[in-house]
């Protein structure tokens, strides 16, 4: 099982999301192509209801504690179903890499 599958499986089990998108953004950075080190995760779950952002991120981090030992960067978008609806199903794009990235 690759890293993306591991992330998806663990977040599905821990958060029972209504929507989950895991994007490998490693290609945007100056690392070997097989590094699988930069990820963007959008997760919409009723489990986030009434939780501050830091507590939402802690839930994700706890679910991915083993994977985080091998991940360099993890961009999280943690939303309740109502917040997801209000944003029309859109989250911010990741900025270009500025630390030795491929855009330089």
- pLDDT tens profile 44-70: 999 999 999 999 999 999 999 999 998
Indicate whether 49 belongs to any domain: yes
Q: Could you tell me if 42 and 5 are in contact, meaning their C-beta atoms sit under 8 angstroms apart? A: no
97 found inside a domain: no
CA 67 to chain centre: 12
Distance CA 85, CA 44 (A): 10
pLDDT for 103 equals: 47
Per the domain annotation, does 103 fall within a domain? no
Q: Average pLDDT of 7-32?
A: 87
Q: Output the six-digit token pair for 92.
A: 């911010």
Band the pLDDT of 5: cuts 50, 70, 90.
Answer: very high
Structure tokens at 45: 């779950």
Domain of residue 79: give its range: 3-25+38-86
What is the value of pTM for the model shown? 0.83
SS3 assignment, position 22: strand
91, part of any domain: no
Q: Is residue 71 part of a domain?
A: yes
Mean pLDDT of 62-89: 92
Query: Do 39 and 24 form a contact (C-beta atoms < 8 A)?
Result: yes
Query: pLDDT: is 80 or 28 the higher one?
Result: 80
């Amino acid at each position: 099982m690759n890293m993306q599958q591991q992330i998806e499986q663990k977040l599905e089990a821990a958060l029972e999301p209504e929507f989950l998108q895991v994007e490998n953004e490693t290609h945007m950075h100056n690392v070997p192509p097989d590094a699988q080190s930069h990820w963007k995760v959008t997760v919409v779950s009723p489990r986030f209801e009434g939780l501050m952002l830091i507590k939402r991120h802690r839930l994700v981090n706890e679910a991915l504690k083993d994977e985080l030992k091998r991940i360099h960067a993890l961009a999280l978008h943690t939303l309740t179903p109502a917040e997801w609806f209000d944003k029309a199903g859109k989250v911010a794009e990741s900025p270009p890499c500025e630390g030795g990235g491929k855009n330089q």
